[in-house]
Amino acid sequence: MALDKLLYLQGVGDRFIDCRGRDLPIDPGSRRALLNTMLGLPVGEVLADELINERIFELDAAPWRGLLPRFQWQHVDAAAIECFLPAGMDQTFECHIQAEGQQEWLSLELSPKAMRVTGEYRIDDIQYLRFNAVLNPGPGLGYHRLRLCHPLLGEAEGILMLAPRQAFLGRLEPGRRNQQRLPFGVSVGLWALRSANQWGIGDFGDLGQLLDFLCREGADFVLLNPLHAPDIASPEDPSPYSPWDRRWLNPLYIQIEDCAEYPALSQEFAGNDWQIQRKLLNQDAWLDYPRVQGLKYRAFALLFQQFCRLKDDNLRRSRLADFVAAQGQALVDFARAEVSRARVSPLWEGAADAPWLRDCLAREDFHQYLQFIAADQLQLCQLRARQGGMSIGLVRDLAVGARAGGSELTSANGLFCQQASIGAPPDPFSATGQDWGLPPPDPIAMAKQDFSHYIALLRANMSGCGALRIDHIMGLQRLWWWVGSDGGYVYYPSDTLLAILCLESQRNCCLVLGEDLGTVAPDLRHRLWESAIPGNDLFYFCREGEEFCAPAHYRHQSLMMQANHDVAPLSAWWSGSDLHLRRQLDLIGSDEELGAALAAREQDKEALLRRLEQEGLLEAGAERPLAFDSLLPRTMALVAKGRSLLVSVQLADLARDRHPVNIPGTSHQYANWQRRLPASLTTLFADPLLLQCLHLIRQGRLQAAQDCAD
């Protein structure tokens, strides 16, 4: 049936294996709704046979009539070119290759008789053949331009990507790995860091202090939240996983005192008005994003005005100009969008008494200046981490999508389907599935644009770090789309996306970590393993039946996270306060359900104590209940001794905070992404229990290395 073929060519899946291992069909009506959305048609419209056949021809047959694919790739150790020719057309023809970054073109002659046939297709009684021409030697890793000149068929151009088989591993490569100790790190939301001198939000200066401390404690990395640019007009909706544009940084993380323009304004900022506002913001345990934004942008405007007083030949002006030139049209488009968005933001409304602030907000170069400073400070943090002895340094986090209507999507030339949203199918944690409200990219449009947006996105997020965690890496293979109440999987050219990821990882010397929690296609984890991309496990979910998994059974090629932003802090989990909070928020529907959840939690707690006893971390038959201050270091030691290649623990857990960062299923009922750490960094650095935990984690990673070597 023609419709079934079109659904297949568009990547709309017909069934999937759910998290329980059941092979489930996807509703035919939902599949048609997804297809119509991809084609830009109303959901209920019945597709005409003529349209279906035209689209099938465009996707399936038309490529065979061109000499070259728009974009093709091979592994660098098997460099080759694919081209299409009618059968029987045996004339030799010219192939010209311009290696990436080179001016000259390499020319060679190709003969169909000397090439291998790898496929065939018949159109109107004409047989077309796909040929494979080996390149020996090839031009090396990169994106290379191709031009074929055929005496009868004319010319065609395309891109040849030659990619490595694996992503960058750096010091995690078996031959370079520290044989004495496996790596560990600390995860933290940058906004949550607290210090006496900040401006109401954690910044790159606070991050530098944390890096210095953790370097002394032997840590290898700091895992951060996504640092993406937020919607400047919606500071009250601060989720880092629902950003405005993933290619740019959040200016609120800029350390104002570290800006070169600050010394000339230090007396201004020492004034009472500034200091009182900073003090009020700093003493609150919860972030007030609108007020933080208002205060910091006023400071940014003064810094920018000071910058504008510099002479044209000033080195700092030259550095900004170089930065803007290097970022190209993408930064111009982003700055233009920021200007437009700023005019409808609380910043604009609150600047009625500050025309100088409005003047800055209305200038594109002001927003370019902020990106320049943020990128510079982030790079310096990574340099600080590596110079301090960290083997990895910063681990950035790439969100799965960006907001509808945001600058990333509006500048992407129709790449995203803004009438659909990314989510997850129904599972035990969400009976109706999850809808994240983030428009998905169209896989057909990705290929037509030569994957340029995806490449730019990776490059932007591999800057200023030693590793990149990719949220929901399953999206390289498929994404669950929602169109209203219709849901289903749409498949992507995963081999190509994975090859691009490996190439950009190697070029940027950036380790890749794949968050593969949830419903995962059966073969994806193996493909990630082959590509040297560690997965992601969560301590709470690592079970063997009803028991906590033994550390010796942890997946080796993985980042084991003791916790993440979607689960309760260990203190809340141990006390059950997270369940009581969920009841207050009506996420638990009745007192009876709460009682059942608390009873189940007691069983989980007892299971954890049994695992601690079995691992020699708790005396057999130890008195119950165990105090949390006794549980915390033992649990950290348990996670650390696991055979996972990487281990991270939450700074909030080390600080014994019981307030969750984020409660899935809530929006305005709870102050998600606004919780700050319960103490300043200076206080935490002197905390004996925190220091004990870090010591035990170090010892656990020593033991883990020995166990993996045996």
Which has the closest alpha carbon to 587: 676, 487, 662?
A: 662
Q: Is residue 413 part of a domain?
A: no
- Map tokens 């035209």 to a residue: 54
Residues 500-522 have a mean pLDDT of 94
- Map tokens 């349209």 to a residue: 51
Whether the per-residue pLDDT at 428 is higher than 80: the answer is no
Mark which of 163, 182, 215 sits at the end of a domain. Answer: 163
Residues 74-98 have a mean pLDDT of 96
The CA distance from 461 to 636, in Å, is: 30
Please tell me whether residues 575 and 649 are part of one structural domain.
Answer: yes
Residue 112 tokens read as 């169909």
Mean pLDDT (the chain) is 96
Residue 600 tokens read as 């189940």
Q: What angle do CA 167, 169, 174 make, to 5 degrees?
A: 125
The CA distance from 484 to 7, in Å, is: 19
Please tell me whether residues 265 and 124 are part of one structural domain.
Answer: no
Residue 454: CATH number of its domain: 3.20.20.80
Residue 626 tokens read as 């165990």
The CA distance from 188 to 570, in Å, is: 14
Please tell me whether residues 490 and 636 are part of one structural domain.
Answer: yes
Please tell me whether residues 212 and 251 are part of one structural domain.
Answer: no
- Asked if 646 and 559 touch (Cβ cutoff 8 Å), the reply is yes
- Map tokens 């940014």 to a residue: 300
- Asked if 628 and 574 touch (Cβ cutoff 8 Å), the reply is yes
Pairing, β 221-224 against β 393-398: parallel
Residue 146 tokens read as 């191709």
The pLDDT value given to residue 248: 99
Percent of the chain with pLDDT over 70: 99
Please tell me whether residues 70 and 35 are part of one structural domain.
Answer: no
- Asked if 152 and 85 touch (Cβ cutoff 8 Å), the reply is no
The CA distance from 153 to 244, in Å, is: 46
The pLDDT value given to residue 369: 99
The pLDDT value given to residue 453: 98
Task: Count Cβ atoms below 10 Å from residue 436 Cβ, excluding itself.
Answer: 19
CA distances (Å), origin 671, targets 27, 190, 282, 292, 429: 37, 16, 17, 15, 21
Residues 398-422 have a mean pLDDT of 96
- Amino acid in the structure at residue 361: L
The pLDDT value given to residue 621: 82
The pLDDT value given to residue 435: 93
Please tell me whether residues 187 and 333 are part of one structural domain.
Answer: no
- What burial class does residue 424 get, using C-beta atoms within 10 Å of its C-beta: 0-12 exposed, 13-18 middle, 19+ buried? buried
Q: Is residue 180 part of a domain?
A: yes
Residue 138: CATH number of its domain: 2.60.40
Whether the per-residue pLDDT at 98 is higher than 80: the answer is yes
Enclosing domain of residue 91: 66-163
- Asked if 402 and 334 touch (Cβ cutoff 8 Å), the reply is no
Q: Is residue 514 part of a domain?
A: yes
pLDDT digits 0-9 by tens, 599-611 = 999 999 999 999 9
Domain count of the chain?
4
Q: Is residue 436 part of a domain?
A: no
Please tell me whether residues 679 and 532 are part of one structural domain.
Answer: yes
CA distances (Å), origin 395, targets 463, 636, 648, 649: 10, 20, 11, 13
Mark which of 34, 62, 90 sits at the end of a domain. Answer: 62
Please tell me whether residues 598 and 688 are part of one structural domain.
Answer: yes
Beta strands per DSSP E along 606-673: 646-650
- Amino acid in the structure at residue 618: L
Whether the per-residue pLDDT at 581 is higher than 80: the answer is yes
The pLDDT value given to residue 647: 98
**Residues facing residue 483 across a β-bridge:** 486
Percent of the chain with pLDDT over 90: 91
- Asked if 611 and 624 touch (Cβ cutoff 8 Å), the reply is no
Q: Is residue 32 part of a domain?
A: yes
Residues 404-431 have a mean pLDDT of 91
Please tell me whether residues 689 and 596 are part of one structural domain.
Answer: yes
Q: Is residue 241 part of a domain?
A: no
Confidence bin at 404 (pLDDT 50/70/90)? very high
Q: How many helices (H) and strands (E) does the chain have?
A: 24, 26
The CA distance from 390 to 218, in Å, is: 7
pLDDT digits 0-9 by tens, 152-189 = 999 999 999 999 999 999 988 887 766 788 999 999 99
Which has the closest alpha carbon to 242: 226, 258, 255, 263?
A: 226
Q: How far is the first Cα of the chain from the last one, in angstroms, to the nearest whole number?
A: 57
The pLDDT value given to residue 701: 96
Which has the closest alpha carbon to 237: 202, 188, 287?
A: 287
Please tell me whether residues 153 and 300 are part of one structural domain.
Answer: no
pLDDT digits 0-9 by tens, 466-499 = 999 999 999 999 999 999 999 999 999 999 999 9
Mark which of 12, 42, 62 sits at the end of a domain. Answer: 62
DSSP per-residue string spanning 62-99: GGGGSSS-SEEEEEGGG-EEEEEEETT----EEEEEE-
Please tell me whether residues 156 and 213 are part of one structural domain.
Answer: no
CA distances (Å), origin 511, targets 168, 259, 308, 312, 499: 5, 30, 38, 39, 14
Q: Is residue 73 part of a domain?
A: yes
Whether the per-residue pLDDT at 598 is higher than 90: the answer is yes
Q: Name the DSSP class of 169.
A: -
Q: Which of the pair, 537 or 176, is modelled with greater confidence?
A: 537
Residues in the chain: 710
Mapped onto helix, strand or coil, the DSSP state of residue 552 is helix
Which has the closest alpha carbon to 289: 216, 144, 417, 192?
A: 192
Whether the per-residue pLDDT at 518 is higher than 90: the answer is no
Which has the closest alpha carbon to 287: 202, 396, 399?
A: 202
Q: Is residue 425 part of a domain?
A: no
Burial 365-398 (b: 16+ CB within 10 A, else e): bbbbbbbbbbbbbbebbbebbbebebbbbbbbbb
DSSP per-residue string spanning 8-34: HHHTB-SEEE-TTS-EEEPPHHHHHHH
Please tell me whether residues 534 and 680 are part of one structural domain.
Answer: yes
pLDDT digits 0-9 by tens, 356-385 = 999 999 999 999 999 999 999 999 999 999
